[in-house]
Amino acid sequence: MTMDLFDGASTLESQEQLAPGAVLLRGFAAADERELLSALAEVITQAPFRHMRTPGGLPMSVGMSNCGALGWISDRAGYRYGPVDPLSSQPWPPLPEVFLQLATHAAERAGFSRFVPDACLINRYEPGSRLSLHQDKNERDFGQPIVSVSLGLPVVFLFGGLSRSVPARRIGLMHGDVVVWGGPARLSYHGVLPLKEGFHPLVGSQRPNLTFRKAG
Ligand code: SIN
Ligand code: FE2
Whole-model pTM: value is: 0.94
121-150 residues labelled b (16+ CB within 10 A) or e (exposed): bbbbbbeebbbeeeebebbeeeebbbbbbb
Give residue 146's pLDDT.
Answer: 98
Provide mean pLDDT across the span 166-190: 98
Residue 187 in domain: yes
Residue 120 in domain: yes
Nearest CA to ligand 1 atom 3: 211
Q: What is the C-alpha radius of gyration for the chain, rounded to an integer number of angstroms?
A: 16
Q: Which of 9-18, 121-130, 155-164 has the lowest mean pLDDT?
A: 9-18
**Quick check: CB of 121 below 6 Å from ligand 1?**
yes
> Ligand 1 center to residue 79 CA distance, Å?
15
Q: pLDDT above 70 covers what percent of the chain?
A: 95
> Ligand 1 center to residue 1 CA distance, Å?
24
Residue 102 in domain: yes
User: How many structural domains are present in the chain?
Assistant: 1
Do residues 65 and 44 lie in contact, with contact meaning Cβ atoms separated by under 8 Å?
A: yes
Residue 8 in domain: no
Give residue 12's pLDDT.
Answer: 73
Residues with CB under 5 A from ligand 2 (ion): 136
Ligand 1 atom closest to 179 (CA): 8
Give residue 210's pLDDT.
Answer: 98
Q: Is residue 179 scored above 70 in pLDDT? A: yes
Q: Is residue 7 scored above 80 in pLDDT? A: no
Do residues 140 and 215 lie in contact, with contact meaning Cβ atoms separated by under 8 Å?
A: yes
Residue 7 in domain: no
Do residues 31 and 10 lie in contact, with contact meaning Cβ atoms separated by under 8 Å?
A: no
Nearest to 132 by CA among 168, 162, 172: 168
Other CB atoms within 10 Å distance of the CB of residue 59: 11
Q: Is residue 1 scored above 70 in pLDDT? A: no
Residue 2 in domain: no
Give residue 3's pLDDT.
Answer: 45
Residues whose CB is less than 8 angstroms from the CB of residue 87 and which lie 6 or more positions away in sequence, other chains included: 47, 48, 50
Residues whose CB is less than 8 angstroms from the CB of residue 101 and which lie 6 or more positions away in sequence, other chains included: none
Q: Is residue 10 scored above 60 in pLDDT? A: no
* Residue-number span of the structural domain to which 81 is assigned: 14-213
